[in-house]
Amino acid sequence: MLLQGLYEEFGLGTMLICGLHEFSQASHPWLPAHLLEDLERNGPVRDVAMFLRLHTNGDWMTIDATWPLAAAHLGLPVNERFEENHEMTLACDPDEVHHVPPQADPEEFEQIMIERYIGDTLARRNRFIDDLGAWLAREIGTSSTHS
């Protein structure tokens, strides 16, 4: 969301997007065994991911910070560099997308979407994200989480 403000300061048009997706064995085969086993036992984990659409040179392109570059060897999607007019890979494969209204507070909008989409499975989702972040930190040697 900070990135959106920076691009707008440069006079570029932006649209903040909220993507609804699920962590599943099929969509995230790179997950560690213990998380894949959790998905097999308990089903997919719902999540939301925020990304940006940027208007540059008369066209719209997708911008996403994805996962740390050091995670590429683990199979996680990463974007090595920004290339103008070149779509970036998203950190997830959204099942549904929602445009965040320009006048909306992005964090409040994200919280509303979390409440609506994740609902009563929020505790499970938070544990899953924490476990994923801990695994990733061990594997790449930093403290990283996905937002």
Domain assignment present for residue 126? The answer is yes
Domain assignment present for residue 56? The answer is yes
Domain assignment present for residue 44? The answer is yes
Q: What share of the chain is helix, strand, coil (3-state, %, to 5)?
A: 40, 20, 40
Domain assignment present for residue 49? The answer is yes
Domain assignment present for residue 147? The answer is no
Domain assignment present for residue 84? The answer is yes
Are 92 and 19 a contacting pair, CB within 8 Å?
A: yes
Provide the residue range defining the domain that includes 79.
Answer: 2-140
Low-confidence winner among 33-37, 48-52, 67-71 (lowest mean pLDDT): 67-71
Structurally, how many domains does the chain consist of?
A: 1
Domain assignment present for residue 119? The answer is yes
Helix 122-140 with 33-42: angle, nearest 10 deg:
160
Are 62 and 85 a contacting pair, CB within 8 Å?
A: no
Residue 1 has pLDDT above 70, yes or no: no
pLDDT digits 0-9 by tens, 87-143: 899 999 999 999 999 999 999 999 999 999 999 999 999 999 999 999 999 999 854
Domain assignment present for residue 59? The answer is yes
Pairwise CA distance, residues 123 & 97, whole Å: 23
Q: Which residue has the higher pLDDT, 9 or 26?
A: 26
